[in-house]
Amino acid sequence: MPQDDLHSDNNLLNSFKAFMGSHFALNVINSIQSDIILKDNTSAFGTLQIYSRLYKTSIRHSNEQYVLLSDEIDLLKDYLSLEQIRFSEYRIPSIKEIHIDPQTTVPSFIFQSLVENALLLSLTDKTNHLKITIADTDQSTQLKISLTPKPGKNIHQKVQSKVDLAIERLEVMKTGGLQYVLDWDKEDFMELTYLKQ
């Protein structure tokens, strides 16, 4: 196997581990345990359903450098639903989707780490209102995250290594032809744009 491919595969595996082996997953299981103790079967069942779906999608994505944008958005939605269950006192926004082409592909797990970072920043400072937009045009696919007030480039300590890993992976994929721009200093908090080939 060529060295670049091996590096890419390792990075992909690490991205999966960073997501599903993280405090996030343990906290979700703890939340299900709490529901069971509190005899809230509906909530336990609902959380378990979402978590199982997320787990299965993640396992599938852990074998693919590129996945369908629509699948990645589904994974993000499940992720945000679980965070909403954990932080019930905070309203986590839904993702605004613009012109999503179901056949568009994007690198797996990248969006999730950037969204998690923005979510943690907004939880830390509740004046940071979170807005997530995914737009798909003929030329590019774009993830835009707004935080108000805009803090500039800011990475939450909890996900520093995960975001670093995502950026490293994007760089490795560049050698395989991926064209992207990750901009922390636009009008929005963060914009990630993939140029379609």
Partner 1 sequence: MLTAIIIDDEQKSREGLEAMLHDMVEGVSVVATADSVTNGVKAIKKNNPDLVFLDIEMPKRDGFELFEAFETIDFEVVFTTAHEQYASKAFRTTAIDYLLKPIDLNLLQEAVERASKKREKDKVNKNFEVFVNNLKNNKSNQQIAISSSDGLIFIKVENIIYLRGDGAYTYFFLKTGERITVSKNLKEYEDLLSEYDFFRVHKSYLIHMHEMKKYVRGEGGYVVMSNGDSVDVSKRRKENFLAALSKL
Applying CB under 8 A, does 27 fall inside the site for partner 1? yes
Binding mask 74-103 for partner 1 (x = CB under 8 A): -----------xxxxx--------------
Task: Give yes or no for a contact between 85 and 111, defined as CB atoms under 8 angstroms apart.
Answer: no
Q: How far apart are the first and last CA of the chain?
A: 25
Distance in Å, CB of 40 to partner 1, minimum = 9
> Token digits for 187?
């009008």
Q: Decide whether 63 or 88 has the Cβ nearer to partner 1.
A: 88
Binding mask 117-146 for partner 1 (x = CB under 8 A): ------xxx---------------------
> Token digits for 163?
């975001």
Applying CB under 8 A, does 148 fall inside the site for partner 1? no
Q: In 3D, which of 101, 197, 113, 92 has the Cα closest to residue 161?
A: 113
Q: Decide whether 49 or 63 has the Cβ nearer to partner 1.
A: 49
The residue behind tokens 């679980």 is 82
Applying CB under 8 A, does 6 fall inside the site for partner 1? no
Task: Report the distance separating Cα 63 and Cα 131, nearest Å.
Answer: 30
Distance in Å, CB of 41 to partner 1, minimum = 14
